Amino acid sequence: MKCLVFLLLLCVSTIFSIDGNPKVIIIGAGPAGIAAASRLLQNGINNVTILEAEDRYGGRIKKTKIGEYITDLGAQWVHGEVGNVANQLAAPLGLLSKSVRPGDTEPIYDVMVFDSSGTKLPEEVIRGFPEFGGEIKGDMIGLDDLKNGSFGEYMRKRVDDWFAKRPEIDPKLHKPLTHSMELVMMAIVGAESSDDVSALGVKNAPACPGFGDLNWKERTYGTILDILMKRYPNPEEELPVLNKTMLNKKITKVNYAEEGPVRVTSADGEEYTADHVIFTASLGVLKADHEKLFEPQLPEKNKKAIEALGMGKSAKILLYYENPWWESGGHWAIHTFLWTEDDRKALENDPERAWMLGLTYGFEVEYKPKLYQIWLSGPHLEQMERLSEDLFKNQTLEIIQRFFGKTHNLTEPTEIQRTSWNTNENFRGSYSYPTMQSVTTVSGPAELGEPVMRGGIPVLSFAGEATEPKYFAMVHGAIASGWREADRLINLYQQ
């Protein structure tokens, strides 16, 4: 056995420029790329370079300054406790909280539903409906009875069964409440339409057990990157990850021809060579550009997965108020937006305002009591991102007035911000999801994450949330995938 290992490494050294310290290029400085680089550096593989297309590191972890707060434009909560590597890294340091207000011991939620006429639906009308959303995704029962197997079919069947047991709910509310539930579910799953999502794919990737929305208190999710790089809690132990990171390096070509090192070309014309490349850019980038990015074309298994998996669209709007107008008592208010059918039809035919159909819910951000956040999902979010700044802000104020003007003494926000994940060519979406096609053809995260081998050696590997079969769409999945690909190389060179 030792002889075989020796011969393998001897063969490797004749193909690559390996002198015991392989040259590794990581494309993308998001959580997967930073996790991979940190792991390699900690295990003696020091010849590492990260090439990042943006002018910052972090990927879909991104913070912003708004009012007196630093908050998240991208990933925001740690979802689950057991088996979640983000929780395992951060919880022992006392960085995470289940509570939504300083001093709370447990979260107290007060879900309210407001329709587009400005009416707050009575509690007896919606009692149990918000909580029912958790049951829909939590237990995933009755999949064998589905005709096409989509999450949309599954969800609507569950909702119809719920209405059938509650004849006291006005039938006029059935469609609006169903639309609202679909938007909430799509905010979780990330897709534009629930009919494109595989119910079996969702069931096969259950959430980590434990509290589902751990917040970072006054901090942001970027803290996890500092922990990975050992900048926190002891800065003197920091790994040289950022010193090895080059920003504004958009990649236009990855050439992994049969012989010699892998050649990576950036948009500014620079070329970099490596023995191994770990590609961590988003699935959105792969879906748009894989045919022109890689030379030769990727193996069929990787290509099929890229084309079959879905890249979701989600968005946030942040409003900072010096004098908040919403409920600020002992309960944490979550406002669900409900369009009447007439208003929905009117918006569908309004190309300037159709994005408002994606309004899902709004709430006070944990530990930031002057910050109100609106979450959006659905197919119209690129429209919102392309609006001029003035028009976007005016329409956002129109939304607040429309839904809450009759029931609250509204104040004026001093600052409004929005996300742009869907129109940014370096991301082209928010996070991945299992489509009907990806599940039926077995072309999912595992297949996307298959490395391209040459002579038994991984020359091109893939990491990122979309490559993690169990925890796709999650930061902890991205971190685990970066460790996975780093460990692949570490194990190769430590034999």
How many Cα atoms sit within 13 Å of 479 on the Cβ side?
23
Q: So what's the pLDDT on residue 231?
A: 97
- Please check whether residue 334 is in contact with residue 363, taking contact to mean a CB–CB distance below 8 angstroms: yes
Ranges of the chain with pLDDT below 50? 1-17
Nearest to 481 by CA among 196, 249, 245, 283: 283
By DSSP bridging, strand 251-255 and strand 63-66 are unpaired
Q: So what's the pLDDT on residue 126?
A: 79
- Residues 362-406 have pLDDT tens digits of 999 999 999 999 999 988 899 999 999 999 999 999 999 999 999
Q: So what's the pLDDT on residue 138?
A: 79
> pTM for this structure?
0.93
Q: So what's the pLDDT on residue 130?
A: 75
Place of tokens 């020359």: 459
Please tell me the distance from the alpha carbon of residue 453 to that of residue 149, in angstroms, as a whole number. Answer: 35
Q: So what's the pLDDT on residue 104?
A: 73
- Residues 44-80 have pLDDT tens digits of 999 999 999 999 999 999 999 999 999 999 999 999 9
Q: So what's the pLDDT on residue 147?
A: 87
Please tell me the distance from the alpha carbon of residue 344 to that of residue 346, in angstroms, as a whole number. Answer: 5
Nearest to 65 by CA among 296, 309, 368, 337: 368
